[in-house]
């Protein structure tokens, strides 16, 4: 599989692996990201994984695009990779009432009952492809085929933080109030982005996510626990 090196201004280089969204390309992006971080190449400031590429920000006073290209090509020739400390997160979600304003509409559009939508969505283990759009906002795939719908024709001006949404082959959680055109089928009390936390974003590319349905009363209890700092997210190591 060919790899392209694309300049992005004079302080960044994009290493592009393909033109689609799938787990194979994501694994190549994440493997290079892990190897590049472990190599600690001079001048590299930050790396940003996306669906199909890795953006490498660098200090032009310490290195150059040509130098980085050669070093990255050498890393790509390595068969193995360093261990990625990925996590499998278990996220509580309420799929009821006002927490799921589009659930009925999604059920009608997909020909499913609302409870079947919930069962399909919560019965899938998702892969975090990338973080973007909003701080800490995770693009997660791959949504079951039966739930795949285009974005809403009438985007909302305000989507509450914690909203669990679906569109095309992805699911996501809104981390801040913002406009949005995805279908809202649930909500989580968990803060996916917290500037006071280190790191601020809860999830990282390569992590796994399982959504666990909770009733509205339990959601309220968890929300209070999150606000008081008494709630701890459940997770377990996920093999790279």
What DSSP designation does 10 have? T
**Positive or negative CA dihedral for 81, 84, 90, 93?**
negative
What backbone torsions phi and psi does residue 197 show, to the nearest 5 degrees?
Answer: -95, 150
- Would you place residue 132 in the very low, low, confident or very high pLDDT band (cuts 50, 70, 90)? very high
DSSP-assigned beta bridge partners for residue 170: 167
The Cα–Cα gap between 17 and 26 comes to 9
* Residue 202: HSE in the Cβ half-sphere, 13 Å Cα cutoff: 24
Asked if 184 contacts 164 with a C-beta cutoff of 8 angstroms, the reply is yes
Task: State the DSSP string of 44-111.
Answer: EEEEEE-SSEEEEEE-TTT--HHHHHHHHHHHHT-S--PPP--EEEEEEEB-SGGG-TTHHHHHHHHT
List, in sequence order, every beta strand (DSSP E) within 72-231.
87-93, 125-131, 138-141, 156-159, 163-167, 170-173, 178-180, 183-187, 208-213
Residue among 214, 201, 219 at smallest CA distance from 134: 201
188-209 burial by CB neighbour count: b if 16+ within 10 A, else e? bbbbbbbeeeeeeebbbbbbbb
Domains of the chain and any CATH numbers: 4-76 (3.30.1360.40), 87-237 (2.40.100.10)
| pLDDT tens, position by position, 222-234 | 999 999 999 999 9
**Is the per-residue pLDDT at 134 higher than 70?**
yes
Instruction: Give mean pLDDT, residues 70-95.
Output: 86
| pLDDT tens, position by position, 14-73 | 999 999 999 999 999 999 999 999 999 999 999 999 999 999 999 999 999 999 999 999
pTM: 0.93
Confidence at residue 238, expressed as pLDDT on a 0 to 100 scale = 87
- Would you place residue 76 in the very low, low, confident or very high pLDDT band (cuts 50, 70, 90)? very high
* Region of poorest pLDDT, from 31-40, 120-129, 165-174: 31-40
Indicate the pairing of strand 178-180 with strand 156-159. Answer: antiparallel
The Cα–Cα gap between 34 and 41 comes to 12
Instruction: Give mean pLDDT, residues 201-206.
Output: 96
């Amino acid at each position: 599989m060919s790899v392209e090196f694309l300049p992005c201004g004079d302080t960044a280089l994009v290493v592009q692996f393909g033109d689609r969204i799938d787990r194979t390309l994501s694994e190549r992006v994440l493997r290079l990201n892990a190897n590049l971080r472990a190599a600690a190449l001079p001048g590299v400031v930050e790396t940003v994984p996306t669906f199909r590429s890795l953006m490498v920000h660098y200090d032009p006073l310490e290195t150059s695009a040509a130098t980085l290209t050669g070093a990255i090509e050498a890393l790509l020739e390595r068969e193995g990779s360093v261990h990625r400390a990925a996590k499998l997160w278990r996220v509580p979600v309420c799929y009821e009432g006002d927490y799921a304003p589009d659930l009925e509409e999604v059920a009608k559009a997909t020909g499913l009952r609302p409870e079947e939508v919930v069962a399909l969505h919560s019965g899938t283990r998702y892969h975090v492809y990338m973080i973007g759009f909003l701080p800490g906002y995770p693009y997660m795939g791959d949504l079951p085929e039966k739930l795949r719908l285009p974005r809403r024709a009438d985007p909302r001006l305000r989507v509450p933080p914690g909203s669990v949404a679906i569109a095309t082959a992805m699911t996501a959680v809104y981390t801040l109030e913002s406009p949005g055109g995805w279908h809202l089928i649930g909500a989580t009390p968990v803060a996916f982005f917290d500037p006071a936390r280190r790191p601020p974003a809860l999830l990282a590319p390569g992590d796994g996510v399982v959504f666990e349905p909770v009733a509205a009363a339990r959601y309220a209890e968890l929300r209070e626990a999150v606000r008081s700092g008494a709630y701890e997210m459940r997770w377990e190591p996920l093999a790279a």
